[in-house]
Amino acid sequence: MLARILSTAAASIMLSVAAQAAPGDNLRGTWMLVSSIMERDGVKTDQFGAGAKGMMILDGEGRFMLTIVGQGLPKFVSNNRATGTPAENQAVVTKSIAMFGTYAYLPSDKTITLKIDLATFPNWNSTEQNRLVIKATREELQYKTAQASGGGTAIVTWKRAD
């Protein structure tokens, strides 16, 4: 009986400690895109179009991978991505982004710093960018970027996949 009471008490304490985990602990994991709303010159748009899909992985070792792809991208007539037409290439470039590198979270500043190794937007290669965390819960992550790849700022919202 005493063992059962102690076991229950220990479980309660562990749950309490887990509930008080540092905000950065909420960031680790796999995230699925909910929305990426860009604001430029006072106009808000869905940056990658309606129905865009995306995934972001923030691992426990400080590495990240992010990919967003818009719906309805045209199939390449040549069936070869290296020989796309200007219109096909433009559609892909304007409705998708991919990048990877390392990240750090500063809870005191509510800032995720991304050190981008490579991106499909080459201007971001070898750069460091900050994302202001608006919301970080176990189920939802939302941040603001001051340098959206399409210009302006963006509010990006993710839901946990795992």
Q: Does 12 map to a domain?
A: no
Tokens of 155: 């509010």
59-113 pLDDT, tens digit each: 999 999 999 999 999 999 999 999 999 999 999 999 999 999 999 999 999 999 9
pLDDT of 8 over the 80 cut: no
Q: Does 79 map to a domain?
A: yes
DSSP string, the chain: -HHHHHHHHHHHHHHHHHHT--GGGGT-EEEEEEEEEEEETTEEEETT-TT-EEEEEE-TTSEEEEEEE-TTPPPPTTS-GGG--HHHHHHHHHTEEEEEEEEEEETTTTEEEEEEEEESSGGGTTEEEEEEEEEE-SSEEEEEESS-TTSSEEEEEEEE--
Q: Which domain holds residue 123?
A: 23-160
CATH number at residue 137: 2.40.128.280
Number of structural domains in the chain: 1
104-118 pLDDT, tens digit each: 999 999 999 999 999
Q: Does 145 map to a domain?
A: yes
- pLDDT recorded at residue 71: 96
Q: Does 149 map to a domain?
A: yes
Q: Does 8 map to a domain?
A: no
- pLDDT recorded at residue 50: 92
Q: Does 65 map to a domain?
A: yes
**Residue 47 β-bridge partners:** none
Q: How much is the pTM?
A: 0.81
Torsion angle, CA of 30/44/151/131, rounded to 10 degrees?
A: -40
Q: Does 135 map to a domain?
A: yes
- pLDDT recorded at residue 20: 35
Q: Does 15 map to a domain?
A: no
